[in-house]
Amino acid sequence: MTFSEVRSSAAMALATVMEHKTRSFLTVLGVIIGTGAVIAVGSIITGVNDVMTELVSAMGPETILSFQFNLSFRGSITPEELKRKPFTWEQSQELEERCPSVKHVSPYLLTPNVFGPGGWTDHVKYHGRDLYQITFAGTEEGYAAGENQLMVRGRFFTDEENRRHQPVVVVGENVDKALFQGDDPIGKWIEVDGHQLQIVGVIAQKLSFPGQPDQRVLVPFFTMRKMYPTANEIMFIIFARKGLVDRAMDETEVAMRMMRRTPPNKPDDFWISTGSQMLQDFHRITSTVALLMVGLSSIGLLVGGIGVMNIMLVSVTERTREIGIRKAVGARRSDIVVQFLTEAVVLTGLGGLAGMTLGWLISVIFRLIFPSLPTSVPLWAAAVGVGVSVGVGLFFGTWPALKAARLDPVVALQYE
């Protein structure tokens, strides 16, 4: 079979598709949906992975997080975790003293409604303007230095203000824009969950997950403790010395087990992780989701393949006399097989291209809805889409092609 003959078969296949547009579209609809799903999911997962990589990079390579609950990407809090003892301010100070590889430990106190039965939504108010779904927490001066936070206006609160329980607050850029709309917020008093606080600084925008704007409202640790005496969910933000993050992790784990009196034969009753470890966990989840979606999309491809096989069998019946004429003038069995396989591949290939276009459009729509989500069609998804669509044509077109090749030319010529 020469290249010109293959090209001729492809041209005939295209002509057949154009002659029966509706039938051809319905035949490969499953292929379109299956391929589109692979492309769309691949592009979205690529975008989400890129965002998570940027988030981890923004945390810094020397940052370690520790909390009584597991904050990695998994389900809800387990009953065992609910029984764990909370962290304390004193433990953060002791941890810094015990671990030579740790430069600083910043306690990060959350409001009671984050994990407990708070019964309200944290919100901030200024002159009739309300902003809900804020990230309200208490910390100390070392948080800004360790996280390399930049101040857009004003300053971060000091350790002196923390010790004196001063009613001062630092807000994020999004909070500043929503409440003050261009006015200078420094020195203004705002109401946070019914408490009056004076703004001393505006902290620069921090990378956040798409659809979740950075709406931090930070107060001194002991000011938060004064506002919420029952608040006890404290997360430790641990800053390791440069190049010593692995050693700092080991030292922190040993020190925490000693401070919390965890028996040697028991697992850790706390969670500790670095940004890179959290990123690996997230990649494992997205890989599982990708495999699951590919498995689900294969159902559409299977349906599309059965449709292709059915329509090719119909085509063999409709063109029985044509097959007989071709064999009578010298066409070999292999020529007939290649002709019908080419038609099947062209049909599913066009369905694959339509599916790739559909997947690309879905990724564009997601990028428009979430501008911070850099969706893009990865090379592997495009290759899988093309390869699978062609493979479906070859696999499900084989039987009709062999059936056409086995036809007796004498019987075929007599077919009406």
What is the mean predicted confidence (pLDDT) over 356-378?
80
Q: 291-328, pLDDT tens digit by residue? A: 787 777 777 777 778 877 877 777 777 667 776 777 77
The pLDDT, as a whole number, for residue 8 is 66
Structure-model confidence comparison of residues 275 and 272, the more confident one:
272
Dihedral, 373, 379, 380, 383 alpha carbons, nearest 10: 130
The pLDDT, as a whole number, for residue 217 is 92
Backbone angles phi, psi at 127, to 5 degrees: 50, 50
The pLDDT, as a whole number, for residue 411 is 60
User: Sorting pLDDT into bands at 50, 70 and 90, what band is 221?
Assistant: very high
**260 C-beta neighbours (distance < 10 Å), count:** 15
The pLDDT, as a whole number, for residue 6 is 60
Instruction: Determine if the pTM surpasses 0.75.
Output: no
Say how far apart CA 405 and CA 335 lie, in whole Å.
8
Which of 144-148, 154-158, 228-232, 294-298 bottoms out in mean pLDDT, i.e. has the lowest? 144-148
Where are the domains positioned within the chain?
Answer: 3-54+281-413, 85-269
Report DSSP state, residue 20: T
What is the mean predicted confidence (pLDDT) over 206-223?
75
- Contact criterion met (CB below 8 Å) for 84 and 68: yes
pLDDT of 171 higher than 90: yes
Run of H or E residues at 273: strand 271-274
Which of 79-93, 114-128, 160-174, 182-196 bottoms out in mean pLDDT, i.e. has the lowest? 114-128
pLDDT of 117 higher than 60: no
What is the mean predicted confidence (pLDDT) over 195-223?
81
Report DSSP state, residue 73: S
pLDDT of 225 higher than 70: yes
What is the mean predicted confidence (pLDDT) over 50-54?
76
- Contact criterion met (CB below 8 Å) for 140 and 107: yes
